Amino acid sequence: MSSSASQRCSTLSLPAESKLSAPAATATQANGAADIAVELDGVTKRFGKITALDDVSLLVRRGELITLLGPSGCGKTTLLNLVAGFLMPDSGEIAVDGQRITDVPAYRREIGIMFQNYALFPHMNVAANVGYGLRMRRVAKPEIARRVADALALIKLAGLEDRKPRQLSGGQQQRVAIARALAMDPLAMLFDEPTSALDPEMINEVLDVMTELAREGMTMMVVTHEMGFASRVAHRVIFMDQGQIVEDDKKEDFFRTPRSERAQQFLSKILHH
């Protein structure tokens, strides 16, 4: 990855025992705007008469991994799509890296997003898929080759550059999609249930890559029902219901003593299913 990417996502200067330690304070206690990677301020999104997101404000610090939890239809995916630029809010503001991006189109935002499906081009090999966005931006060929190699090394798929998607497992295909996003040198990565379409034995392949990204200091917002991953790797848990943020807590506090009755009900169903 580029030098700016390595600054965003590097473990070289971190002692091993601190790689997954939580930031010193929660995002709402951040020391100045320079520490904030993603900010939503009073964001509302409606679809007809349905309010999918209702006056949501959220700060995500650099290098922080937050998990978005909640029942289906609570607004988690809508929130990610607003940050990515696939949807525009009806009110409120969104900023990334201190820059207002509320009405900036998705292709101009330095945001990587992973969906449930892999969205790989079946006629292209792995290297071509990973480098596709860079070619669209007219990046020089030597730079594309370097970024593709770095991204594939990071997700542990080096040596598979010439394979077509059909020659890969589901877990490998999802990792290629992650590499494609990483090659674009994003300021933050968004994941929307990245393991939901995978067979159980392949889930850990993707979760291991996401855990490594967390170790490397990548800012991440993750929608997931993988409670083990959330409780092990996340810095904060955002619990949502009916388009609102109900709880915003450190993972330890959320899983040990959720404050709201709605979160208690949710965890009881999920953890004891």
Q: In this structure, are residues 221 and 186 in contact, taking their beta carbons and an 8 Å threshold? A: no
Q: Which residues of 66-103 are buried (b: 16+ CB within 10 A; e: fewer)?
A: bbbbbeeebbbbbbbbbbbbebebeebebbbbeeebbe
pLDDT along the chain (273 residues), means of 10: 45 32 42 81 97 97 94 95 96 95 91 82 95 92 95 90 93 90 92 81 82 89 89 93 96 93 90 63
Residues in the chain: 273
* The predicted structure's pLDDT at residue 272: 63
Structure tokens at 167: 């020659």
Question: pTM for the whole thing?
Answer: 0.81
